[in-house]
């Protein structure tokens, strides 16, 4: 380092949504990713659970991930999307509800979880690649929270993309919110 220069340490806080249908392994994925544990027993999430993972990305960057484990409550999930910088598992309808300030969709990675329960499928890769391209996912990973397969790799992939986008936004951003919620008419439904 040159004399007189200052080393700048960046600390980033990213809200990451983990959304999917009941029983797909959202909570198990988060528990493995954050605590390096796996529990055999199944307990359905009710509402929203939170977890925090802190990662020293490089010698100048610390990343704190707020992982929001959103149960399959589609009608309630929109409020939880605010200020999200990334998503795992589910993307259906996400783009219509939240976007980055630039207008780009929130980066999302598709997880084919529980791959320990299936035999390898040679056609899966091409199908998943096409699905990701059609639906706007950054990419996809076969994961197993049980066997700790590709859990950290999927997290690093999403984090790398969020950092790249955040650094691009930061150079153009004047402290505004990082995402825009699309406007929608309020609706009320009664039973």
Tell me the pLDDT tens digit for each residue of 13-68.
Answer: 999 988 887 888 889 999 999 999 998 887 777 778 889 999 999 999 999 999 99
Torsion sign, CA atoms 176, 181, 182, 187: negative
| Domain 12-181 coded CATH 1.10.40.60 | no
105-119 pLDDT tens trace: 888 899 988 888 877
Q: Pick from 188, 159, 154: which is nearest to 15 by CA?
A: 159
- Rounded Cα gap, residues 110 and 87, in angstroms: 9
Torsion of CA 104, 124, 20, 64, to 10 degrees: -60
- Rounded Cα gap, residues 2 and 95, in angstroms: 45
List, in sequence order, every residue forming a beta bridge with 63; answer none if it has no partner.
12, 55
- The pTM score is 0.76
Which strand ranges, in their side-by-side order, compose the sheet holding 139-142? 48-58, 61-70, 10-19, 84-88, 108-112, 139-142
Instruction: Give the tokens for residue 17.
Output: 């949504």
- Rounded Cα gap, residues 42 and 67, in angstroms: 19
pLDDT of amino acid 14: 94
């Amino acid at each position: 380092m040159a004399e007189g220069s200052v080393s700048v340490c960046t600390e980033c806080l990213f809200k990451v949504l983990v959304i999917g249908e009941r029983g797909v392994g959202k909570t198990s994925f988060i528990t493995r990713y954050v605590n390096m544990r796996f529990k055999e027993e199944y307990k359905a999430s009710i509402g929203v659970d939170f977890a925090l993972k802190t990662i020293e990305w490089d010698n100048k960057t610390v990343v704190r991930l707020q992982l929001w484990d959103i149960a399959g409550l589609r009608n309630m999930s929109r409020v939880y999307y605010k200020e999200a910088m990334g998503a795992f598992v589910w993307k259906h309808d996400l783009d219509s509800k939240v976007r980055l300030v630039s207008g780009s969709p929130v980066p999302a990675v598709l997880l084919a979880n529980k791959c320990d329960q299936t035999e390898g499928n040679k056609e899966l890769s091409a199908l998943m690649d096409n699905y990701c391209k059609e639906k706007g996912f950054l990419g996809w990973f076969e994961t197993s929270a049980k066997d700790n397969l590709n859990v950290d790799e999927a997290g690093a992939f999403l984090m790398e993309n969020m950092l790249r986008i955040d650094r691009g936004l930061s150079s153009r951003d004047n402290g505004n919110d990082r995402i825009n919620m699309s406007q929608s008419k309020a609706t009320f439904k009664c039973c």
